[in-house]
Structure 1
Amino acid sequence: MPVALENATRVIGLLMHSYKEYVALMELHDIVDRDKLVEVMKIFVGKIYQRPPLRSSVKRSLRIKEIYSIDLLEFENRHVLFKVRCESGTYIRKLCHDIGLLLGVEAHMRELRRTMVAHIREDLPIVTMHDVSEALYLLNRYKDDTLIRKVVLPGEYIVAHLPRILIRDSAVDAIAHGAQLAAPGVVAVSDDLKKGERVAIFTLKGELVAIGKSAMDLEEVLKSEKGVVVNIERVVMQPNVYPSLWKKSKKEQAI
């Protein structure tokens, strides 16, 4: 479970709404053939209709969700262990129920473990609350920040899966005050930039400035000398961290 601190809370929603990976244990209500099970599970890969279960925190309206992959890990008697990668908001217990219906034997979910959120995987370094407590003690008691730097990752790690744009120092403060990113402020762009997709905007030092949606694709950005490149959705950096080199209106100057 990723936990964000201070300014990182402004972008933690990017993880919560990104794709997820789970390992689930499903119990079938009767014995089925392995080949039939595999065949039925393949049917659910792709876009599916799903209505949230009765015990859920959202409105029970019919929705379209996407299952990217389903892999059968173990199958013994009536117990099925499988891994599923899916769109955010997909209910795995409802998926188990629907698989059982299609098999004709019914089924329910016994256990569930989330193993990945976007690029943050279970096999990466994970810390406990005890680790956090120890790190804070060493920092407060001995001014030793070695462990706290291992326990608390930079906020930039949250957006590591997004295309990135590096901007000039002269454009940073303008964006921190709510301006859109224009072509003259762009220094470099990652190769996977696509129009209409979410991107992360960084300073030349690698500091996260803001999150937005690209108004141009890669080729357009490389050729453009003017125009809006990114429509800003969420500003992360505080204003006035970088010097203000943009022109202010008379009203702003009076304030």
Structure 2
Amino acid sequence: MPKLPFEYIIRKPITRKAMETDPRWGCIPERRTVEQLLRYGIVNIDKPSGPTSHQVSDYVQKILMIKKSGHSGTLDPKVTGVLPIALGSATKVVHGLLTAGKEYIALMHLHQEIPMEQLQKAFSTFTGKIMQLPPVKSAVKRVLREREVYYLELLEMEGKDVLFRVGCEAGTYIRKLIFDMGKELGCGAHMAELRRTKAGPFDESTLFTLQDLRDAYHYATKEGNETLFRKVVLPMESAVAHLPKVWIFDATVESLCHGTDLKVPGISRVDDQIEEGNRVAILTLKGELVCMGTARMPTKNMLKDRGAAVTVDRVLMEPGTYRQKEKAENAP
């Protein structure tokens, strides 16, 4: 089965300076309480056909009785499938998913039958870099944009109906892709059905319905059984599984919670293969997501240089989670 680009990357953390983490501060993400997960959790909802993505996000708020939630990658009302929804203070984490690759299963209806060989040729033509004009009814300005289609896989063809899998860059319009393929084929085509099967690190393996969420919340809060809840509501860190990571010392955490950029001396471990300009996630030694930002140097420099390593732009951890040391260094 084809994969999205990030799924081919195997990263290995490299230790710059080993240090123990103080058990008095913070919490291993998997050990968060139900109340903490309602603030720092994310759910992968199987969006039903009918409601908008915003409506589904509102349903999640009402079910969990929380004041804030945020979804990643809006799906049209009739589209189903993977819709990650962040809870409470975790809403900023969806920013890390916005540019992540997506995968869909689409049903294309051709306006006349064509040979399979001709269809496969069109699939090859539309794999790779393509130019796309957003549809008239879209939330973005209608200007020609370059997008990348990572793969197009034919699953089934019966008469004028074609079922296929597509992996693509964020911001690719599948309805428009199908229209353009129909034009290329000379027969015309339109999208009959669409289901999203991947959004960054989220796929159908962690997918749950709104009813599942309702049941999980009831069992956890009314009956004291958290088993289903912990399967449905994941730690927010699962939303950055696709990003390269930097682990920092306890003494560095507090300053980053206030938006300070990460300096090299504050780094304990760092993933290999980080390049300048990469989007990165910054974690505590317990694996908690502190913030996200943009790498200002590659891995090799983070291991030996000084200076600013990451420009921080999204802070997830609340200040005070880690007690500030007497010498609040961004550098032990």
TM-score, normalising length from structure 2?
A: 0.71
- Three-state SS of the structure 2 residue aligned to 1:12 is helix
Counting only pairs closer than 5 Å after superposition, residues 62-211 of structure 1 correspond to structure 2 as 62-122=144-204, 124-211=205-292
- TM-superposed CA distance for 1:47, in Å, is 1.2
Q: CA 1:246–1:24 in 2, change beyond 3 Å: closer, same or farther?
A: farther
CA RMSD of aligned residues (A): 1.4
Flag the 1:232–1:20 CA change in 2: closer, same or farther, 3 A. Answer: same
Which has the higher relative contact order, 1 or 2, with Cα contacts under 8 A spaced 6 or more apart? 2
In structure 1, list runs of 5 or more residues that go unmatched: 249-255
Which residue is equivalent to 1:49?
131
Shift in Å, 1:56: 2.1
Assess if the C-alpha contact under 8 Å between 1:174 and 1:246 holds in 2.
no
For the residue of structure 2 that corresponds to 1:93, the secondary structure is: helix
Aligned partner of 1:25 among 107, 110, 120: 107
CA–CA separation in structure 2 for the residues paired with 1:72 and 1:138: 42
Higher alpha-carbon deviation: 86-95 or 56-65: 56-65
Contact 1:195/1:217 (8 A) holds in 2: yes
1:230 aligns with 2:307: no
Deviations 1:31-78 (A, max 9, x none): 211111101111111111111112222222211111111111111211
Q: Which runs of 5+ in 2 are unaligned?
A: 1-82
Shift of residue 163, structure 1, vs aligned partner: 0.6
The 3-state SS of whatever aligns with 2:85 is coil
What aligned pairs does 1:7-26 form with structure 2 within 5 A after superposition? 7-26=89-108
Among residues 278, 301, 308, which one is paired with 1:220 in the alignment?
A: 301
* Structure 2 counterpart of 1:2, from 84, 87, 90: 84
Task: Report deviation, 1:130.
Answer: 1.8
Aligned counterparts of 1:178 and 1:93: Cα–Cα separation in 2:
40
- The amino acid across from 2:151 in the alignment is S
Identity %: 46
Q: Distance in 2 between matches of 1:196 and 1:98?
A: 33
Shift of 1:140: 2.3
Please state whether the residue corresponding to 2:237 is helix, strand or coil. helix
Check whether the contact 1:210–1:232 (CA below 8 A) recurs between aligned residues: yes
Paired residue for 1:245? Answer: 325
Count residues with an aligned counterpart.
246
Residue aligning to 2:10: none
CA distance in 1 between counterparts of 2:120 and 2:246 reads: 43
* Off by >6 Å, runs of 4+ in structure 1: none
Higher mean C-alpha displacement, 135-144 vs 87-96:
135-144
Deviation at 1:246, TM superposition (A): 6.9
**TM superposition shift of 1:247:** 6.0
Farther-moved stretch of structure 1 (238-247 vs 88-97): 238-247
